[in-house]
Structure 1
C-alpha cells in the first residue's frame, strides 16, 4: 500500500517516523484523526487525605524522603506530603534521573491510581513532574492516545498539538447540511476531542456519544459511503454484454426440475435476470442461509448467459465444493444438451489441456472450477458472467482476476457473488453499499429443522452410543474433528486419531475419513461413497463446511465446538437437515469454557436463523473480523459503530449522493482526509 513519506515532519527523526508508521501515521495531517482512547483529569489537585483508593488522582506536595529500598525487592520509595497528609510513591523500575528529580525538598506533582498500601495511601509508578508553587494547572483534560512501543504519550501530544496549529481544518460539509444534521463544525469537534474542557465529563467523551464524536463518526461514515458510491457509479459506466437471451434454456431447466422454485428464489432470479439484460456490469451479491438453494439460481443465470451466446464460469473456494457444484450443474444441464467443463489443480494434464482448448475456442460455454480457473492458461474469450461462491473466501485480486479472463476487450463480464453467511442490515448498508443484494430468506419445502444439543466432553460415550443407534437404524452421520488453527499437521493428526478411536469403538459401522491433505481423487471417492450410502459415518475436518449435500445424513457431532466461529458452526450444522428425517447436531465442548466460547455456543444453541446468528456474530466479533477486511480490500471503520450509530449511517448514505452530485470537490476532499491512498480495490 503506497503512503506518503514521513519526510519533512518537524521534530520527527527517521526512527520515530518508522514507529509512527505502525500507527498508520505518515504525515502531520494523519495526526488530526488520531483521536484519544480516554482522558485523565489533570485540571484539578486532590488533597492527599481526600484521595480515594481505586481512583486516579493528581496530588501535589513536597518530597519528604527518597530512598532505594532492597526489600522485598529493589525499588525507589518516595514520601510526598502536603498540608493534609503523606502519600508513598513507589517505582519498581527507575533511573538515576528519577532519583535526582525526586530529591528531598523538591516540589512535585504526581498523577496515578491511589491504593491502600502497607504504610497508608500509595501510588505505584505514578506520572511525576517537578513544579513550582506558581505553576498553574492545565485548562483541558489530558488525552491518552493509542500508541506503540517507542512512542511516548508526551511525544504524541506534542506532534498532535503542532498538527492542530499548522494543518488546515476545512469543513467539507456545506453549512446548511451540517445545521440540518445538528452537527458541530469539524474544527470545533476536533479541537474539543483533543483538548476537552474540564466541564465535559470524561465518561461522555469515552462512550463516544458527545456531539463532537458524532461529527467525527458521521464524517468517517460519509467518506466510506462516498467511496463505495463512486465505485458503484464507475462500474455502471463500464460496458457489459446485454444478455437478454430468448429464455428458452431457462424455461427448459425450470420445467425439468423435480422441485418448484421458492418465492424467494423466483424473486432473486427476476432481479438477476433483469441485471444481465442491461449493458453495464452486474455486481450482485446473492445472500441466503445454508440450504436456501443458491446453486439453482446461479445455474439459471449461467443459462441466460449461454442462451445469449456468452460463456459463464463458476468459481468455488474448495475442491469438494467446486466438484459438488459441477456434479449438480452437469446433472441439471446434460438433458438440455449442455456440457459443463470441470477445472481443478488435481485434474490430469491431458484431460485438462483438452478442456482448456475447447474453452479458449468458445466451443465450451460453461465451466466450474477452483482457483485453477484464474491461472494463466485458462482463456474464456466470450466470458459474460462470472459467479463466485463463498465470495468472502477469495481475496479481492482473485475476484478481479476471474473477471479479467474474458477476452472481449472493453467488455466487462457480469459478476454474481454468493454467500451463505447472511450479512446484517447495517453491515450491508456500510461495507456492501456498492453492491446490489438479493436475499433468499426461505428454505425449500421438505427440509427438517435441526435440533442442537450442547453436551460436555465428559459424556462422549453416550454420544457414541447415540451415533451407533442412528446409523444402525439406517441414517448417516458426520463427526467433525477439532479445529486446530495454528497447525494443519496437528489438525490432520487429530482427525486420524479420532478416526482410529471411532473405528475401534464402532466396529459394526463402515467409517470414512476426509481431510484437506487427501488427494483429490481420494476425496471424491470418499464423498461419493458417503453420498451413495456405502459409509455410515464420515469423520472429517472442516473441509465439509460448505457444499456437502447428503439428505440421508441426519446426525452431526462437532468435537471441541467451542473452538469454532459462529459462521463455521452454522455452516457445519447446515450439512444435516437436508432431508425429511429429524436431524440433530451435537456440540461437544470441553471445560472450562472461555467467555467468548460460552457466548458463541449460547448463540448457536438458541438460534437456527442465519440472519440472527450473523447479527450476534457481528456484535461479538466486530465488522473487521466479520467481513474479512484483508480479503475485501475495504478500509475498516475506526470510530463509528454500525449498531450504535445506525442513524448516522442512514444520514451518511443520503448525504453521499448529495455531495457527489452537488459538491464533488468536497466529496473528493473528504475521501482524501479519511482514506488517503487507501480507497484501493473496492469490491473488485
Structure 2
C-alpha cells in the first residue's frame, strides 16, 4: 500500500488540530481512535509528544540513481513506469517496472488494490523507497513505499516513531511537530550546570553545548549528513543532552523525597520497653544457630535506624539463603518490645507461609508469654478466620502481622503499625509500597520501611533508582551451605535427566522440576505442568510425584508442600510458585524446563532452593533450541552466566546488562520504565554529574528544580519515592 508521507516540519496550525487537547480545553466531542491511541501511549502533554523520539529514520532527502543502488541498500529512486501488469502464477501479484536514465527496477506487490494500478499506470513518474534486492540479473523492490514524483525533497531525515494500532505515522508526525512548536523548552539548568557532553560549533564557529530545544528538534529531524550509528547507539551529543536532563530529573526527585522523609516523623523503636530481658535478646537465645558477622552488622544498622524519629527507608539485600529472615525477625522483636506493631509482607502465599512458619517457631512462644499474638492474613482466607485476624490487628493484640498483599487492603486497620518489612520488594508494584506507608497516617507519622531482596542491586542501579535509600548487604553465607553445580542440557536429552532423577530418589533425595510460566495463558501453564507431571509419574513408578501450580486452592497447595517437606514425596513438579522461600534441605536436584524463557535473577532464585542441606546439589537447566538447533543470543547469555557463577551480585550485574533497569526492578508494575533514554551501564559519568548537580539545584535554584522534575516526570515522581 502507498504510505502517506508528511513533510519534515508541518505547519503548526495543522499539527495543533491533531495534537492532544490540553487539560483545560472545554468539553468537546468524543476523542477519535487516534487520540485514544495517543493516550494509550501516554502522550498526553505537549512535552510527552516532544519526548516521544523516533525508533529509526528513513532517508527521503536524496534520489539514488538505479544503477548506483546495491543489493541490501534502502534507497529512494525516481523513475517512469514502463510496464504494469497483474500476474496470476505462481501467485497473484502486481509487477511494475520503473526506469530512470541509468537503469530499471522491478516493483513487486503481493497485496494491492485497483488504486495502486491506477497510480502506477504506464507513463507515470514515481518516487519509490524500499530495499533493493538482486544485482546482476536485475534490481527488485518488494512492497516499497511509493507516490507520484514531484515537490521538493525534505531537508531532514523522516522519523519513524514507536506507535500502536489506530495511530498512523503521518498523524503521529503531525502531532509531534505541533507539540514541538507549542511546548515551552526554555532551559531549566542553571547557567553553571554544564553536563559533561560533547560541544558543537554553531554557524558562527563558536563552540557551545546543545540546549534542549536544539537537541529535540535535531533528534526528531536529523540532517542527512549525520552518522546514523551515533543516533542508534545514543552517543550523539543531542542524545547525551537528553540523557543528562533525564538523569537529573530522576536524581532531583529522589533527593526531594529523601529530604521530605527527613522532615517526617516515625516512632522511635528501642528495645527493652517491657520488664525482663529485651525480646530480641530472648530471640537470639532460642535460635538454633549463631548469627554470621554480616547478619550482626546489618542488624545493628537497622537497630540504629529505627531508634531515630525519622522513617527508615532501607534495603536489606543478600544472596539466596544468606539469612535475611532472621535479621527481619530481630528488627520485629525490637519494634514489638517498644510497644508497636510490625507487618511482614511477601509476594506469594507460599513465601508468606514460609516466613510465618519460621517466625511462629521463633517468636510465638516468646510473644504468647507476653499475651501477644501473631496474625496471618492472605487473600484466600475464609471469611470467619479473616474477620478474627482483622479484629486482632485492630485491637493491637496481634503485634506481628504476616501475609501477602492482603495486609495493605483498606479493610486492614492497624492500631499502631511502626515497622513494615517487604520481602522480595521488586515483586511488589510501586503503588502497593506507597499504600503500606499510609497505614500510620492517622498518627501523623510514617512506619519504618525495611525492604528485603535476594536479587542484589548493582551499584549503578542503587545510585540511580535507590538514591534515597540506605542499603545494607549480607555478603556472607551461613556455614554448611553446599555449592551447587549448574549444568546446561538440551531438552533432546530429557530421558537422561529423568534417569538421574530416579537415582537421586533411590538414594533418599528429593527433586524439584520447574515448568515455565507462559504469561499469555494460565491454561497453557497448567496443561504444560500437568503433562510433565503425568510423564514423570509414568517414568518413575513407585515414586510419589506431586504437582503445584498457581490455580490450586490454598489448602491443596499446603497439603502438597507438607508431603514434600516431610520427604514422603520424591519429586515436585511446579510452576514458579516455589521460586522464593521454600526451604527443604533434603532436596538436592532442581530441573528447570525451558530455562531459556526465564530471567537471570529468577533462575538464580530457583537454583537457591537446592543446596540447603549437606548433600551435593545440582541444578539442571533444560533448554530447547529454535528450528535451526540454536539458542537465541539473549537466552545463551543468560544460561552461560548461570553456569559460570553462583555469585548473586555477579548474576545481578549481568541481568542488568541483559534486561535493563525497568524490568530488573519491576518498574513495569507501575506502568512505566522510569528511565527511557539513559543507560546505567554506560552513562555513569552523566549519573555522577546528575547526583552532584541535584544537590546544588535544590539548594540554590529550587524553582528551576521543580520545573525540571515536572517537565520530565509529571506525575511519575511519586513512583520514584516508593
User: TM (normalized to structure 2)?
Assistant: 0.85
2:351 matched residue in structure 1: 321
Matched, 1:83 2:111: no
Check 1:159–1:528 CA distance in 2 against 1; reply closer, same or farther (3 A cut).
Answer: closer
Q: Is the 2:57–2:158 Cα contact (8 Å) retained in structure 1?
A: yes
2:576 matched residue in structure 1: 542
User: Equivalent of 2:400, from 366, 371, 384?
Assistant: 366
Residue 175 of structure 1 aligns to a residue whose secondary structure is coil
1:273-327 residue CA offsets vs partner (Å, 9 max, x unmatched): 1211121221222122110111011011101111211111111222222122122
Residue 254 of structure 1 aligns to a residue whose secondary structure is helix
Residue 111 of structure 1 aligns to a residue whose secondary structure is strand
1:172 matched residue in structure 2: 188
Matched, 1:624 2:624: no
The CA deviation at 1:40 is 2.9
**CA–CA distance in structure 2, aligned partners of residues 62 and 429 of structure 1:** 60
User: Equivalent of 1:604, from 619, 638, 642?
Assistant: 642
Q: What pairs with 1:479-628 in structure 2 (closer than 5 Å)? A: 479-592=513-626, 594-595=631-632, 596-628=634-666
User: Equivalent of 1:140, from 124, 145, 156?
Assistant: 156
The CA deviation at 1:667 is 1.8
Q: What pairs with 1:202-281 in structure 2 (closer than 5 Å)? A: 202-246=228-272, 248-281=278-311
Q: Is the 2:429–2:666 Cα contact (8 Å) retained in structure 1?
A: no
Q: Is the 1:431–1:634 Cα contact (8 Å) retained in structure 2?
A: no
User: Equivalent of 1:388, from 407, 414, 422?
Assistant: 422
**CA–CA distance in structure 2, aligned partners of residues 617 and 428 of structure 1:** 14
Q: Is the 2:71–2:135 Cα contact (8 Å) retained in structure 1?
A: no
Matched, 1:311 2:341: yes
**CA–CA distance in structure 2, aligned partners of residues 667 and 420 of structure 1:** 35
The CA deviation at 1:95 is 4.9
User: TM (normalized to structure 1)?
Assistant: 0.90
**CA–CA distance in structure 2, aligned partners of residues 456 and 241 of structure 1:** 55
The CA deviation at 1:563 is 3.5
Check 1:620–1:8 CA distance in 2 against 1; reply closer, same or farther (3 A cut).
Answer: farther
The CA deviation at 1:352 is 4.7
Q: What pairs with 1:394-413 in structure 2 (closer than 5 Å)? A: 394-406=428-440, 408-413=442-447
The CA deviation at 1:508 is 4.2
**CA–CA distance in structure 1, aligned partners of residues 547 and 96 of structure 2:** 67
Q: Is the 2:195–2:686 Cα contact (8 Å) retained in structure 1?
A: no
1:285 matched residue in structure 2: 315
1:648 matched residue in structure 2: 686
1:190-224 residue CA offsets vs partner (Å, 9 max, x unmatched): 22222322332222222210111100111122222
Q: Is the 2:428–2:666 Cα contact (8 Å) retained in structure 1?
A: no
**CA–CA distance in structure 2, aligned partners of residues 624 and 470 of structure 1:** 40
Residue 176 of structure 1 aligns to a residue whose secondary structure is coil
The CA deviation at 1:535 is 3.6
Matched, 1:662 2:688: no
1:638 matched residue in structure 2: 676
Q: Is the 2:95–2:107 Cα contact (8 Å) retained in structure 1?
A: yes
Q: After superposing the two structures, state which structure 1 stretch, 286-295 or 491-500, moved more.
A: 491-500
Check 1:376–1:443 CA distance in 2 against 1; reply closer, same or farther (3 A cut).
Answer: same
Check 1:454–1:93 CA distance in 2 against 1; reply closer, same or farther (3 A cut).
Answer: closer
**CA–CA distance in structure 1, aligned partners of residues 379 and 533 of structure 2:** 27
User: Equivalent of 1:47, from 65, 69, 74?
Assistant: 65
2:10 matched residue in structure 1: none
Check 1:88–1:6 CA distance in 2 against 1; reply closer, same or farther (3 A cut).
Answer: farther
Q: Is the 1:204–1:210 Cα contact (8 Å) retained in structure 2?
A: yes
**CA–CA distance in structure 1, aligned partners of residues 710 and 479 of structure 2:** 51
Q: Is the 1:635–1:678 Cα contact (8 Å) retained in structure 2?
A: no
Residue 275 of structure 1 aligns to a residue whose secondary structure is helix
Q: Is the 1:6–1:27 Cα contact (8 Å) retained in structure 2?
A: no
The CA deviation at 1:414 is 1.0
**CA–CA distance in structure 2, aligned partners of residues 198 and 379 of structure 1:** 63
Matched, 1:678 2:708: no
Check 1:240–1:179 CA distance in 2 against 1; reply closer, same or farther (3 A cut).
Answer: closer
Check 1:244–1:4 CA distance in 2 against 1; reply closer, same or farther (3 A cut).
Answer: farther
**CA–CA distance in structure 1, aligned partners of residues 279 and 501 of structure 2:** 44
**CA–CA distance in structure 2, aligned partners of residues 498 and 96 of structure 1:** 53
**CA–CA distance in structure 2, aligned partners of residues 460 and 180 of structure 1:** 54
Structure 1: unaligned runs, 5 residues or longer: none
Matched, 1:463 2:463: no
The CA deviation at 1:34 is 2.1
**CA–CA distance in structure 2, aligned partners of residues 70 and 537 of structure 1:** 59
1:565-621 residue CA offsets vs partner (Å, 9 max, x unmatched): 322221121111112221112223344464144443222222211222222222333
- How many residues are paired up? 679
**CA–CA distance in structure 2, aligned partners of residues 88 and 498 of structure 1:** 53
Q: Is the 1:3–1:677 Cα contact (8 Å) retained in structure 2?
A: no
Q: Is the 1:382–1:408 Cα contact (8 Å) retained in structure 2?
A: no
Q: After superposing the two structures, state which structure 1 stretch, 303-312 or 393-402, moved more.
A: 393-402
Structure 2: unaligned runs, 5 residues or longer: 1-19, 199-208
Check 1:109–1:421 CA distance in 2 against 1; reply closer, same or farther (3 A cut).
Answer: same
Check 1:158–1:518 CA distance in 2 against 1; reply closer, same or farther (3 A cut).
Answer: closer
Q: What pairs with 1:92-131 in structure 2 (closer than 5 Å)? A: 92-95=110-113, 98-116=116-134, 120-131=138-149
**CA–CA distance in structure 1, aligned partners of residues 93 and 493 of structure 2:** 52
Q: Is the 2:197–2:241 Cα contact (8 Å) retained in structure 1?
A: no
Residue 450 of structure 2 aligns to a residue whose secondary structure is strand
**CA–CA distance in structure 2, aligned partners of residues 450 and 647 of structure 1:** 37
The CA deviation at 1:497 is 4.4
**CA–CA distance in structure 2, aligned partners of residues 156 and 324 of structure 1:** 51
